[in-house]
Amino acid sequence: MADLSVPIDVAPPVLSARNVDVSLNGTAILHAVGIDVSPGEVVALMGGNGSGKSTFVRALVGAVPLARGSVTLFGEPAGASPRSRIGYVPQRMSAGGGVAATVDEVVRSGLLGHRRLRGPRDARTRAKRALAQLGIEDLLGRDVSRLSGGQQQRVLIARALVRQPDILILDEPMAGVDLQSQVAFAHALGHLKENGVAVIIVLHELGALARHIDRSVVLDGGRVTYEGAPPNDLGIHALPGHEHEHAHEDPPSPARGGIVLEGPA
């Protein structure tokens, strides 16, 4: 069972993406993007608008197909079953339905998954607990479409947390969100980290979350251009037109100090 070639002190990655290419409507968006995330590690995915961050996380959760490359979750190829252990927070509440839905109903939908078409008996209690983690348990019976942007974002995070995920993947959870919601999420993030949950979070700036971020990966033009300690100044790497010859294929285990993965400009 034990694979002796793996050093004991390195936890196997929760998620590992290799050489991921994604094309949407015939346009290549991602080029050989790779990432590894270990238990309890918080990785910030950064880059300018159109750099491919959102497409990359959507590819990780199976919302867009890979043109090439692979995604491994918990040592298995990503499929419906291992995906049940992901908590995904999309960029915003789906403009979605023509029918009203309560916070309770939306959060409970997070309890479903592969071969789990019906929620558990204690769904309501669990939904309440997830909302309490973000300080919004009093919103339980409210119509989600009538909440503020920050409250909606916290509901989406609660919908992911109610799954008790082993990896949490968030797409710009802080964009346009009030400070109170940011602080509530930063608090919840600290707890998740302590409990060994791996986190990939798309961010424009580190902001209120800075102290929880272990590593940052910067995308530009669909390629990884930087990987390492959260940099203080990301300006140059996020600039459009900052071209790179190749992205690196086999990212090293998280190392402080930062490795700039750039070919000659």
Nearer to other proteins, 36 or 171 (CB): 171
d(CA 184, CA 86): 21
Among 52, 90, 221, 222, binds other proteins (CB under 8 A): 90
CB 67 within 8 A of CB 22: yes
Angle in degrees, CA 153, 231, 178, rounded to 5: 20
* 81 contributes a contact to other proteins by CB under 8 A: yes
The nearest distance, CB 241 to other proteins, in angstroms, is 30
* 21 contributes a contact to other proteins by CB under 8 A: no
Q: CA dihedral in degrees (239, 150, 73, 22; nearest 10)? A: -40
Among 53, 154, 163, 237, binds other proteins (CB under 8 A): 163
Which among 19, 23, 72 is positioned nearest to 52, based on CA atoms?
A: 23
Nearer to other proteins, 5 or 25 (CB): 25
Among 22, 45, 61, 234, binds other proteins (CB under 8 A): 61
Among 12, 70, 75, 114, binds other proteins (CB under 8 A): 114
* 106 contributes a contact to other proteins by CB under 8 A: yes
* 56 contributes a contact to other proteins by CB under 8 A: no
Q: For residue 21, what are the CA distances in angstroms to 32, 64, 79, 191, 214?
A: 5, 11, 18, 33, 25
Beta pairing, strands 42-46 & 215-220: parallel
Range 218-257, binding other proteins (CB under 8 A)? none
d(CA 211, CA 209): 6
Bridge partners of 89, per DSSP, are 170
Three-state SS for 131-154 is HHHCCCHHHCCCEHHHCCHHHHHH
Q: Which stretch binds other proteins (CB under 8 A): 37-45, 59-67, 220-228, 256-264?
A: 59-67
The nearest distance, CB 263 to other proteins, in angstroms, is 34
Query: Who's near 228: CB < 8 A, 6+ residues apart?
Result: 215, 216, 255, 256, 257, 258, 259, 260
Nearer to other proteins, 112 or 229 (CB): 112
Q: Is 127 helix (H, G, I), strand (E, B) or coil?
A: helix
* 4 contributes a contact to other proteins by CB under 8 A: no
Nearer to other proteins, 105 or 214 (CB): 105
Structure-token match 């300018």, residue found = 48
The nearest distance, CB 157 to other proteins, in angstroms, is 12
* 110 contributes a contact to other proteins by CB under 8 A: yes
The nearest distance, CB 200 to other proteins, in angstroms, is 12
Q: Which residues bind other proteins (CB under 8 A)?
A: 58, 61-63, 79-84, 86, 88, 90, 93-94, 96-102, 104-106, 108-115, 117-119, 141-143, 159, 163, 169
